[in-house]
Amino acid sequence: MADQEIEEAVSRALEEAPPRNFRETVDLAVNLRDLDLNDPSNRVDESVVLPEGTGQETSIIVFAEGETAVRAEDVAEEVLDSDDLADLGDDDNEAKDLAEDTDFFLAEESMMQDIGRYLGTVLGPRGKMPDPISPDDDVVELVERLKNSVQMRSGDRRTFHTRVGAENMSAEEIADNIDVIIRRLEASLEKGPLNLDDIYVKTTMGPAVEVV
């Protein structure tokens, strides 16, 4: 159960958002402090499973062959094999478009080396290198988990944004997602809560409301 103050902040953000003719996402703006973000080890870079889901479609592409590819076809946006991978390696623009349009990538362990060779320069800087699929992993389970996940990534900037829901979700659901994200940050940052400055919630086009 999320803190009542978080839920009240989300309610305000939803109420104050001007009406739009599309469903807006709800985003969290997190300000960090007392961290040397020039040191990559201090940067935030991890995926978080949201208990109430993202409220949006999440695009997941799987690099696989054989039985894993067959199982992935039912749940992933697209399944690409070794030939597709080689083609992407020859077409930088297509590879960049794919990276921009896709939220998460998964790949069989046996394909990771070739993915690094063909797509490392495209996916690496964007933080989109695939999570490996081991022979014992259930690809369906992995994809379904990622569908409810968001990526938190600060880079070298003090402020970063992450999706926490959509405007058609309840304030309570979005607040529960925010609570999980704040707890994860407090657990992973060097000084915990002391490394967190102001945090704001807002819809895509709406005003920002301070959470904590």
Query: How far does CA 25 lie from the centroid of its chain?
Result: 13
Question: Which tens digit of pLDDT belongs to each residue from 126-168?
Answer: 989 999 999 999 999 999 999 999 999 999 999 999 999 999 9
pLDDT of residue 14: 94
pLDDT of residue 21: 78
Mean local confidence (pLDDT), 94-102:
95
- 58: buried, middle or exposed (CB in 10 Å: 19+, 13-18, 0-12)? middle
Quote the DSSP letter at residue 22. Answer: S
Please state which of the four CATH numbers 3.40.50.300, 3.90.1150.10, 3.30.190.20, 3.40.1010.10 is assigned to the domain occupying 4-55+148-210: 3.30.190.20
pLDDT of residue 2: 59
Most distant CA pair in the chain: distance in Å?
52
- 1-10, 65-74, 100-109, 199-208: least confidently modelled range: 1-10
Domain boundaries defined on the chain: 4-55+148-210, 60-146
Cα(33)–Cα(181) distance, rounded to whole angstroms?
Answer: 17
Integer distance in angstroms from the first to the last C-alpha of the chain?
Answer: 16
Residue 35 and residue 207 in contact, taking contact as beta carbons nearer than 8 Å: no
Report the 10 Å Cβ neighbour count for 148: 16
pLDDT of residue 180: 97
Cα(118)–Cα(132) distance, rounded to whole angstroms?
Answer: 16
Please give the model's pTM, rounded to 2 decimal places: 0.83
pLDDT of residue 31: 97
Q: How confident is the model at residue 76 (pLDDT cuts 50, 70, 90)?
A: very high
pLDDT of residue 22: 80
Q: Which class is domain 60-146?
A: alpha beta
Single out the residue of 143, 154, 167 nearest to residue 73, CA to CA.
143
Query: How far does CA 162 lie from the centroid of its chain?
Result: 7
